[in-house]
Amino acid sequence: MSAVVWLLVIGFGLLLLMDVPIAVAIAIATFLCIFASGGDATYTVALKMANGIDSFTLLAIPFFILSGLLMGQGGIARRLIDFAAACVGRFPGGLAYVNTLTCMLFGSISGSAAAAVSSVGGFMIPEMNRKGYPRDFNVALTVTSATTGLIIPPSNIMIVYAVAAGGVSIVGLFLAGIVPGILVGLCLMSVCFFWAKGRKLEREPAVSWSELLSSFVRAVPSLLLVIVVIGGILGGIFTATEAAAIAVAYAFVLAVLVYREVKLADLPAILLKGAVTTSVVMLLIGASSGMSWLLTTQNVPQQVSTSLLAMSDNPFVILLAINLLLLAVGTFMDMTPAVLIFTPIFLPVVVELGMDPLQFGIVMITNLCVGLCTPPVGTCLFLGCGVGKTTIAKVTPSLLPFFFAMIVALLLITYLPGLSLWIPSLFGKG
């Protein structure tokens, strides 16, 4: 690698060690490298950051963020918990299954893992504590289950990947994430199954068919959001960006007019929170776009591709190496910059190996979801410990089996293309 790349890596690493916010660290490291190479650093960084967010597709992100916030405060989680409890609560360790299933449902509706930890965990963790489930297990389960919402569509990070990959269908990505997201949820539930065996845990009362139907009817308005978004896009009624705006309108009607758990007086605070969250995401995208451009001009993607392909002619080995690298990246970098920076580096390699860009997008997102549950930048882990009133040190032993389950799911998604490509191929989006 060139001296500029080494300066970028060292400078970025030092800034992270100094606890500089990651977006600022990326921008400063990029600025220093361009300045050191004799370029107009101020103009170039500003231009690349502006161009990085100048995309109609990215307009979907603030809309999905706002719809997620409305869903999070609109009573949706409570209704989904009731429905999940009616479905799986009667089994041994039933509340663990309820937690996972609710996180999958709520995460897919809100598109936010953090929202799932806060909304679902805020109710389920205390409830599981009260029913005799260990606190640290409850937090570990919630934290890992919440990440399924980033794999099951609609998902903001899929939009970011589509922009970074260039020419990848957002609709195809949405469809490609359905089976892998369910697979991750089932793997987490399998841990709950083996954990619950032999333990005397209080079971939820069995419900009648009429009660199950009643809970389903109460949850239907919330669940319809996914059908409206995905169905509308597939039917050609609106684009992914327009679907995000439809999601906001639907969430508003549901939370304010139907469930009436969000008051008109609450909207300014929700809009402000949405604006702040959007600004953080867009700053990350802009800064990462600048670093990605710098790495491309230094031929880093080509060098990495050549090195990986020279390391072995076995696709199994190369894909395993890429997964290990991404797992390492996920421990210290947020998902958005990781996707924007490493997609241009690794995508040419996997395409050379014959992997479909849709499948690689799901592999990358699933991989980086593990990083949300690990220190030092595990957003979901820190949030879950705050909600569960415990510490990372106490939760970590309980996290390990769930990490193993997520890795098993990741390997299956990596080496079984049909898991990701089956549904897109049915709709001609593969």
Indicate if the pLDDT at residue 377 is higher than 90. Answer: no
Residues 75-93: what's their mean pLDDT?
79
Q: What percent of the chain has pLDDT over 90?
A: 22
H or E segment to which residue 388 belongs: helix 379-388
Maximum mean pLDDT: which of 106-120, 267-281, 303-317: 267-281
157-213 residue pLDDT tens? 898 899 888 878 888 999 999 999 999 999 999 999 888 887 776 666 777 788 888
Farthest-apart Cα atoms in the chain, separation: 73
Reduce the DSSP state of residue 214 to 3 states and report it: helix
Indicate if the pLDDT at residue 1 is higher than 70. Answer: no
2-37 residue pLDDT tens? 788 888 888 888 888 888 888 888 899 999 888 888
Least confident of 107-111, 260-264, 423-427: 107-111
388-421 residue pLDDT tens? 888 888 998 999 999 999 999 999 999 999 999 9
pLDDT of residue 422: 92
Phi, psi torsion values for 111, nearest 5 degrees: 70, 20
Which stretches within 235-356 are classed as H helix? Answer: 240-252, 267-297, 300-311, 315-330, 335-352
- What's the rounded Cα separation, in Å, for the pair 103 and 181? 11
Contact of 409 with 161, CB cutoff 8 Å: no
- What's the rounded Cα separation, in Å, for the pair 160 and 344? 12
146-170 residue pLDDT tens? 999 889 888 888 988 998 888 788 8
Selection from 241, 239, 253 nearest residue 62 by Cα: 241
Residues 354-380: what's their mean pLDDT?
89
